[in-house]
Amino acid sequence: MTMTIVTSRTVGETAAAFPGTVEVFQRHGIDFCCGGGRALAEVCAERGIGLDELVRELDEAAVAPAPVGPDWNGARLAELSRHIQARYHETLRAELPRLDALMDKVLRVHGARHPELATLAREYARLHDELLPHMVKEERVLFPYVAHLEQLEDAGAKLAGSPFGSVQNPISVMLQEHEAAGTILAELRRLSRGFTTPADACNSFRGLYHGLAELERELHEHIHLENNVLFPRAVILEDKLRGSGGRARGSGPRER
């Protein structure tokens, strides 16, 4: 079988091109979102993972039947933005208060026997405080601008100007904030020993660590869709509209 995965391709590019590979990266604990800009071969060498074996697993995942759901590499950017907001932003807004309450309870009951919980709670609070304003900025600034770009493309119009010079400017801010969130997630994993509860953990303690593990998984998927799919496509579309302009509606298939 011809090799589907190219070892010089970055982790993020691989995850974006072949969505089925995300599960493989998650299983091996490989960052495919915030740290997704590194080549597969480089990541394997650093982590002591056999490159040939990983590529075999990725190839199998890449050629497996595509998971049910939209192809976000080809979907409209406004649709992808709405999906991110509904599937991830609103889920986060509902889940964070629940985790807040669990964290407070577990720290109060178990903090004396497990002093690492105090540091864990501080790091979680930092993440909480990063995420809420970050989502608001995306919803009020970046997502509407991306939808505007797509509307211009539909109308066959050029981009006259932008309130922030280029979409790369707000994207660079979002990328920095994603990197900060990824660093905190890694620290939460380290402090919790991979979200492994101690022998004396109660149900609330176990629920907290399960919730944090799910938060990590969801954020990795969320950030991956933005860093590796939405943002690069928005940059390409803006460059196109600054140049020759968009394709008029009805003049042929949309370019992707």
Query: Tens of pLDDT along 127-144?
Result: 999 999 999 999 999 999
Query: Rounded to whole angstroms, how far apart are CA atoms 22 and 28?
Result: 10
Closest CA to 77 of 240, 252, 195: 240
pLDDT of residue 26: 80
Give the pLDDT score at 3: 53
Predicted confidence at residue 64, as pLDDT, reads 72
Residues 244-256 as b or e (16 or more Cβ within 10 Å = b): eebbeeeeeeeee
Helices (H), the chain: 11-17, 22-28, 40-47, 51-63, 77-84, 90-110, 116-137, 143-155, 168-191, 203-225, 231-242
Closest Cα to residue 142, out of 54, 230, 29?
230
Cβ 138 vs Cβ 181: under 8 Å: no
Q: What is the DSSP string of 201-244?
A: --HHHHHHHHHHHHHHHHHHHHHHHIIIIIHHHHHHHHHHHHTT
- What residue ranges of the chain have pLDDT lower than 50? 1-2, 244-256
Contact 13, 40 (CB under 8 A): no
163: number of Cβ within 10 Å: 8
Tens-digit pLDDT profile for residues 137-176: 999 999 999 999 999 999 999 998 888 899 999 999 999 9
| 126, two tokens | 């930092």
Looking at residue 247, what is its pLDDT? Answer: 43
pLDDT score recorded for residue 118:
97
DSSP state of 88: I
